[in-house]
Amino acid sequence: MKSDFRFGLIGCGRIANRHAEHISNQGTLVAVCDIVKERADELAEKYNAKAYYDVEDLLANETDIDVISICSPNGLHAEHSINALKAGFNVLCEKPLATNVHDCGEMIKVAEQHNKRLFAIKQNRFNPPVAAVKQAIDEGRLGKIYSIQLSCFWNRNPQYYENSWKGTKDLDGGTLYTQFSHFVDLLYWMVGDVKNVRAFTHNYDHQGIIDFEDTGAVILEFYNGAIGTINYTVNSYSKNMEGSLTIFGEKGTVKIGGQYLNELEYQNIEDFKFENLPEGNKPNTYGTYQGSMSNHDLVYSNLIDVLSNNAAISTSAFEGLKTVEIIDKIYSAANK
Q: Is the dihedral of CA 159, 202, 242, 144 positive or negative?
A: negative
> Tens of pLDDT along 143-182?
999 999 999 999 999 999 999 999 999 999 999 999 999 9
Between CA 272 and CA 280, with CA 278 as vertex, the angle to 5 degrees is 125
Q: Is the dihedral of CA 51, 57, 60, 61 positive or negative?
A: negative
pLDDT at position 275, please? 95
* Whole-angstrom distance, CA of residue 60 vs CA of residue 115: 19
Between CA 193 and CA 233, with CA 134 as vertex, the angle to 5 degrees is 65
Query: Please, which contacts does 82-86 make with residues 24 or more away whose CB atoms are closer than 8 Å?
Result: 82/106, 82/107, 82/110, 83/55, 83/56, 83/59, 84/8, 84/10, 84/59, 85/110, 85/111, 85/114, 85/116, 85/118, 86/110, 86/114
* Whole-angstrom distance, CA of residue 301 vs CA of residue 26: 7
Q: What is the pTM of this model?
A: 0.94
Residue 33's identity, in one-letter code, is: C
pLDDT at position 148, please? 98
Domains of the chain: residue spans and CATH:
6-120 (3.40.50.720), 125-292 (3.30.360.10)
- Counting as low any pLDDT under 70, the low residues of the chain are 280-294
